[in-house]
Amino acid sequence: MSEHYSSEPGMGPLTQDSLVTSVLMGIIALVGLVGNMLMLRACCKYEKLRTNFYTVFCGLSIADMAFLLTAVPVYIRGVVFSGEVDEDNDLVKDTFADKVYCKSFLYLTDACGFVAAYLLVVLAVLRAILLTNRNTRGQPRPFHLVMLCLVIYVISFVSSIPIINTVSSLGRKCIPKYQFVPEEMRKNVWLKSLFSLFLPLSLVITVHFIAHMLGKRYFSDSYSPREKEKSRLVIAIIVAFAICQFPYRIVSLYSAYFVSIDDWSTWEMVDTLEKYMFCLLTVDKAVRPILYSKLASDLCVAFDEVINCTYCSRAYYQEPLNDHLGASLVIPEEAPEVQDTDPPDAASASQSFLVEKAEVYSYDGGPVDSTAEPGPMGLTNDESSDSSLSRTIAVENLGRSCDRLISTSSSASATSCTSQTPLVHQQEEVEMLPERV
């Protein structure tokens, strides 16, 4: 990189503010990409999560990921190469690849911003339908929402094509083509602010007001916990969008109308403020997955599978997320009370009762066929190799249940039987449980 930089406005060397905002943008992009990928994973992996709301969430996640993958590299590249000059003290000439890079990436950035804004309007409409529809009409199906999301994507990308002609490259930095033409700059800022914030937010407020009035008058006492949860989640997403978008749009409008390029000190201060506000705008893309995981109970479990590695522990303890996951051992009724007069016999009777009454479920979530030839602990011998984990967990859970029962009904000599029973891999070790007690 050249050691000299241009003295033109916005073309100075790397400053402390530029470095801080670049690091913040990188962290925000990393968090946002991971969170949105977890959202897409949850909907792809679990069929029960493919509802109308979560279908729109997936559309939002795709738009947010595309925004982060295009906006953050453009910003960091502009900071690193801003104002680089050659040996003749002229700005480094932009190649054809630099111009294509700036036009395509900024076009995708603005188009994805429009998509996210109008998908929030769809969420507001879904919330209104959820709160005001009492099974008089069917809810929108996920397929309908997929088609609606595709329509919004197509319209947003087609309507953003004129943005390509408003982007230029100067000294390897992507800048608005009419940055030094105040009238054109104001027009561009107004159009982007109108269609990416003010118009969609006005539609959201209108839909929310209508739903609030109808719900308050007719349905205020009939909301279920599920409806309240979805309503809170949608409202939180919309509020976060408004909080993150408003400061950047206001600063951009102020810069276009009240800041002159000739006033270098004021321009530099507003430009620095605009950089931090753009960081806040990108925070919205990273906050949404956090809201998904905190305000939606089913998504919280799906996110925890990866974040807290509960998927690994579920494979060990067999605590299924859905009916078709894992294997569990169900004790349908409580064991009879055992007298303390004969602790060894009582322990044997308790274990026999639990073995007889235990209802074993296969690794796919369904009950084992009772007509099949029984194997160890009531499991069939013809199970495939992938169900060996189910048999192991069933035996372990049974041993723990026996130990807990014996510890509450036997004498002090049974205290050696604790809930930390080691994993039993052989039937012979299970048969040794009475002797161990």
**What are the chain's domains?**
16-308 (1.20.1070.10), 329-436 (no CATH)
Question: CA neighbours within 13 Å on the CB side: how many for 284?
Answer: 28
Q: Would you tell me how many other CB atoms lie within 10 Å of the CB of residue 19?
A: 12
Query: 430 to each of 31, 362, 434, how far by Cα in Å?
Result: 47, 20, 9
143-198 pLDDT tens trace: 999 999 999 999 999 999 998 888 887 767 787 877 777 888 888 899 999 999 99
CA distance linking residue 40 with residue 406, whole number of Å: 46
Q: How confident is the model at residue 417 (pLDDT cuts 50, 70, 90)?
A: very low
Show Cβ contacts of residue 106 under 8 Å, excluding neighbours closer than 6 positions.
Answer: 70, 74, 163, 167, 174
- Return the number of other C-beta atoms located less than 10 Å from residue 88's C-beta: 6
Lowest mean pLDDT across 88-92, 212-216, 260-264, 268-272: 88-92
Q: Which residue has the higher pLDDT, 15 or 289?
A: 289
Check residue 82 and report its DSSP letter: T
> Which is higher by pLDDT, 349 or 136?
136
- CA-CA distance, 189 to 274, in Å (whole number)? 13
Average pLDDT over residues 370-399: 47
Residue 362's identity, in one-letter code, is S
DSSP string, 290-313: HHHHHH-HHHHHHHHHHHS-HHHH
Q: Residues with Cβ < 8 Å from 120, sequence gap 6 or more?
A: 60, 200, 204, 237, 238, 241
Task: Answer yes or no: is pLDDT of 380 > 60.
Answer: no
Structural contact between residues 160 and 114, judged by C-beta atoms closer than 8 angstroms: yes
Is residue 21 pLDDT above 80, yes or no? yes
The conformational region for residue 174 under phi > 0 = left, psi -120 to 50 = alpha, else beta, is: beta
- Give residue 225's pLDDT band: very low, low, confident or very high (50, 70, 90): confident
- Answer whether 165's CB lies under 8 Å from 110's CB: no
Query: pTM score > 0.85 for this model?
Result: no
219 has pLDDT over 60 = yes
What value does the mean pLDDT take over residues 235-240? Answer: 96
Query: Nearest Cα to 6, choosing from 86, 75, 94?
Result: 86
Q: What is the pLDDT of residue 80?
A: 76
Instruction: Please choose, from the candidates 278, 227, 226, 228, the residue with its C-alpha nearest in 3D space to the C-alpha of residue 252.
Output: 278
Nearest residue to 241 (alpha-carbon basis) of 280, 195, 209: 280
List C-alpha distances in Å: 283 to 52, 291, 313, 329.
Answer: 25, 12, 32, 44
Amino acid at 378: G
Average pLDDT score, the chain: 74
For residue 391, is pLDDT > 70? no
